[in-house]
Structure 1
Amino acid sequence: MKIIKKNKITDLPRKILIRTVNHRLGDSLMIFPFLSALKKLFPDTPAVIAVPRHNARIFYNTGFTVFEIGRTWPLKISDHLAYLSFLRKEHFDCAFILQRALEGAFLSWLAGIPGRLGYASDHRNFLLTGSLSEESWNMNTARMHTSEYYLDLLRAFYNYQGLKPERLEPAVLDNDIHSASLKCGFKITENTFILAGPGSSYGSAKFWPLKRWAELLKRLRLKYSLPVILAGAEHDKLITACLKDLLDFPTVNLCAVTSMGELFALAKYAGLVITVDSGLSHLRSAFGRSLAVLFGSTNEKLTGPYYSGESIREEFSCAPCLEKSCPRAENPLCMEALSLEKVWNIICSSGQCRIEKNINI
């Protein structure tokens, strides 16, 4: 890590602000190790997580106070002004601005927070009192997980020497389990189904051929005698519908019909989750359970599962390229190169993909 600036860093903050990222489930979950380490460093210091309302549910079980920014997305000027008013009233003396845009640093500066720590991204270094260079945080060549880059803020400015922090889990409520069970048509309990997430908001470069998905799920169905549930967001509806049509056994397609809490319940209680690099992979890893993640254009060292899970990829000359669609072919070459047999053999042999017990439905 390269420290650019280190001014006005208090040894023991009186009140801490954590400004999280705005988008995506996965990006938010990769902050959890930082939150766990921060809690260990300053167990008695009040701290508030500031997050746009649509992502607030993710942080309810972290042990921090959650302040919800705005009512709708995208945020309006009135939302920013209300957030600024909140910052001024709370008298924070230290802000960790994990959001890498100019906005978070500017509002923290405008609120008069004396210690403002973050990465020198988006031309905002002049607004920070403590900053790290983004040189090593290169999406193609990064050698550390994204969570480790956030932890570097604590290493640089507060001498955090811990290894992998204790795991924090998103909250799963009884109502989430009950409503997810109703949508599935059977009671959600531990290890009673397999959860698959073939889609991603990132783009088509993450898509594995549907016929291989179908054959993989058929084999898992035969091996474990467990039902299969398909999950995803609105943009995944076509791919999950096409996959369901290829399966010759009853499959529950819950794509775009689950709430965030219901998705949390499914991700926690599945016997095994298989997905591409997506928010679902980070969600399952946060629960520390069996997981297989298929990688193509993205970098598993940067966005692979952090606490548990097996990253599966085929070495390919141009991967990871970080492209959202393959510039060389209609279908992503790196995902086309990833064979069904390789994925199947790794899932069957890896302890990271083991289903602990088999409950026949």
Structure 2
Amino acid sequence: MTKFKLRQSDPARILIRGANWVGDAIMTTPVIRAVRKNFPEAEIFILVKPWVAPVFHNNPFVDSVLIYDDSGRHKKGWGTIRLAKDLRQYNFDLTVLMQNAFEAALITFLAGIPERLGYNTDGRALLLNRCIKLDPKLKRVHLIDYYRGILKGGGLYDDGGTLDLFISDHEKQKAEKTLQDNGIDILKPVIAINPGATGGTAKRWFPNRFAKLSAKLAEHFGVKVLIFGGPGDNTLGEQISGLSGDVCVNLAGKTNLAQAFALIERCSLFITNDSGLMHAAAALGINQVAIIGSTNHITTPPANTNSRIVRVPVHCSPCMKPECRYEHHQCMDKISVDMVFKEAVAMMENSNP
């Protein structure tokens, strides 16, 4: 692929179209870091949906975060045209599309961005003048490497697959206060569970098992167990807390995403379903045990070396469905409390020899 044509007199402007989900967005961070290293003098912008923006707010490789307001100003239809018009005023030289949708290519085409780099997915090849033919093998490797394939396809330097997630000092201070306010002894291990997951119940281990696990962990380590989750997980957190014998502190729905990141950074151990927060813990290098059922343990597991996967292979997994189509949920039912507890204790023992 020939060299990208970027302006020389003023700093070039690059737009990265970010992924739409928190976990996916975190897994694109190696590409964003590499784009900065390929174009150190450029101004780099990233366009994302509002709920993903905190992933990039403190990222030193991004100059500005632009919001794709798809429920308001940029709502599908005329809002798509309005977004393209909004982007046109920035006079971008190059766009790098992390998202695979036709719409992503259409918007940047309509925005008049001369260099448009991305995979030839979703019938959008004619809209990309820097079109990369997707190698089917990339569908069978970790999603981080799938995204890094965009760099290779564009003839750009690849800076490796290490994830980035940056926490501000302000959020770190707030995290410390949250722990203190909830009676968490920071001289002991800070242990947390994340029982929720977006996209249906198939990815979720059972609440009663999270409760039993929390009780065992609390007794073994002499601590309270934090419960993480989004706004829709507060009731789930209360249910687990009650079933556990009230050994938990339910933070589900009580923090924003940036605050959740800062609290995860303080954890000694994070036990989670496959979720965006699982990838946040991976980016922050936190000891974690990931409970994997319906999703692909090859393409989207936690990427940190200090993580363990608890998984029992069954004939229908990974199904990638939001709900169990057979209603038996065997991929999760076969994962016992003792299996997860054993991995959790081993992880803590290995990290504190």
Of structures 1 and 2, the one with the larger relative CO (CA 8 A, separation 6+) is: 1
CA RMSD of aligned residues (A): 2.8
Match of 2:326 in 1: 328
1:338 counterpart = 2:335: yes
Between 1:341-350 and 1:267-276, the stretch displaced more is 341-350
The DSSP-based 3-state class of the residue aligned with 2:342 is: helix
Match of 1:84 in 2: 84
Tell me how far 1:15 sits from its aligned partner. 2.8
Q: Residue 33 of structure 2 contacts residue 159 of structure 2 at CA under 8 Å; is this kept in 1?
A: no
Tell me how far 1:232 sits from its aligned partner. 0.9
Tell me how far 1:17 sits from its aligned partner. 1.2
1:160 counterpart = 2:157: yes
1:245 counterpart = 2:239: no
Q: Which amino acid aligns with 1:17?
A: L
Match of 2:117 in 1: 117
Please report the TM-score for the alignment, with normalisation by the length of structure 2. Answer: 0.86
Equivalents in 2 of 1:12, 1:314: separation in Å?
A: 50
Tell me how far 1:89 sits from its aligned partner. 2.8
Tell me how far 1:134 sits from its aligned partner. 4.6
Match of 2:59 in 1: 62
Equivalents in 2 of 1:154, 1:335: separation in Å?
A: 36
1:128-147 alignment to 2 at 5 Å?
128-134=128-134, 136=136, 142-147=139-144
Between 1:279-288 and 1:215-224, the stretch displaced more is 215-224
The DSSP-based 3-state class of the residue aligned with 1:305 is: coil
Tell me how far 1:340 sits from its aligned partner. 2.5
Q: 1:10 to 1:72 in 2, by over 3 A?
A: closer
Tell me how far 1:132 sits from its aligned partner. 3.2
1:169 aligned to which of 161, 165, 179: 165
Residues 101-124 of structure 1 show CA distances to partners (whole Å, capped at 9, x for unaligned) of 222211211122121111222221
Q: Which amino acid aligns with 1:213?
A: F
Between 1:154-163 and 1:270-279, the stretch displaced more is 154-163
1:315 counterpart = 2:304: no
Equivalents in 1 of 2:345, 2:172: separation in Å?
A: 30
The share of aligned pairs that are identical, in percent, is: 28
Residues 65-121 of structure 1 show CA distances to partners (whole Å, capped at 9, x for unaligned) of 123225573533676455433432332221101122222211211122121111222
Equivalents in 2 of 1:180, 1:55: separation in Å?
A: 24
Equivalents in 1 of 2:85, 2:185: separation in Å?
A: 43
Q: 1:65 to 1:202 in 2, by over 3 A?
A: same
Residues 288-341 of structure 1 show CA distances to partners (whole Å, capped at 9, x for unaligned) of 111111000000211111234222211112111111111112x41111112223
Q: Residue 229 of structure 1 contacts residue 253 of structure 1 at CA under 8 Å; is this kept in 2?
A: yes
Match of 2:220 in 1: 223
Q: 1:161 to 1:54 in 2, by over 3 A?
A: closer
Q: Which amino acid aligns with 1:92?
A: F
1:97-112 alignment to 2 at 5 Å?
97-112=97-112
Between 1:271-280 and 1:173-182, the stretch displaced more is 173-182
Tell me how far 1:143 sits from its aligned partner. 2.7
Residues 245-294 of structure 1 show CA distances to partners (whole Å, capped at 9, x for unaligned) of 11124321111121122211111111111000001101111101111110
Q: Which amino acid aligns with 1:15?
A: R
Match of 2:258 in 1: 261
Q: Which amino acid aligns with 2:324?
A: C
Q: 1:234 to 1:344 in 2, by over 3 A?
A: same
Q: 1:45 to 1:300 in 2, by over 3 A?
A: same
Structure 2, unaligned runs of 5 or more: none
Q: 1:192 to 1:80 in 2, by over 3 A?
A: farther
1:205 aligned to which of 202, 211, 219: 202
Q: Residue 109 of structure 2 contacts residue 127 of structure 2 at CA under 8 Å; is this kept in 1?
A: yes
Q: 1:70 to 1:20 in 2, by over 3 A?
A: closer
1:293 counterpart = 2:290: yes
Match of 2:267 in 1: 270
Structure 1, unaligned runs of 5 or more: 1-5
The DSSP-based 3-state class of the residue aligned with 1:300 is: coil
Q: Structure 1 stretches (4+) deviating beyond 6 angstroms?
A: none
Q: Residue 9 of structure 1 contacts residue 129 of structure 1 at CA under 8 Å; is this kept in 2?
A: no
1:10 counterpart = 2:4: yes
Tell me how far 1:163 sits from its aligned partner. 3.6
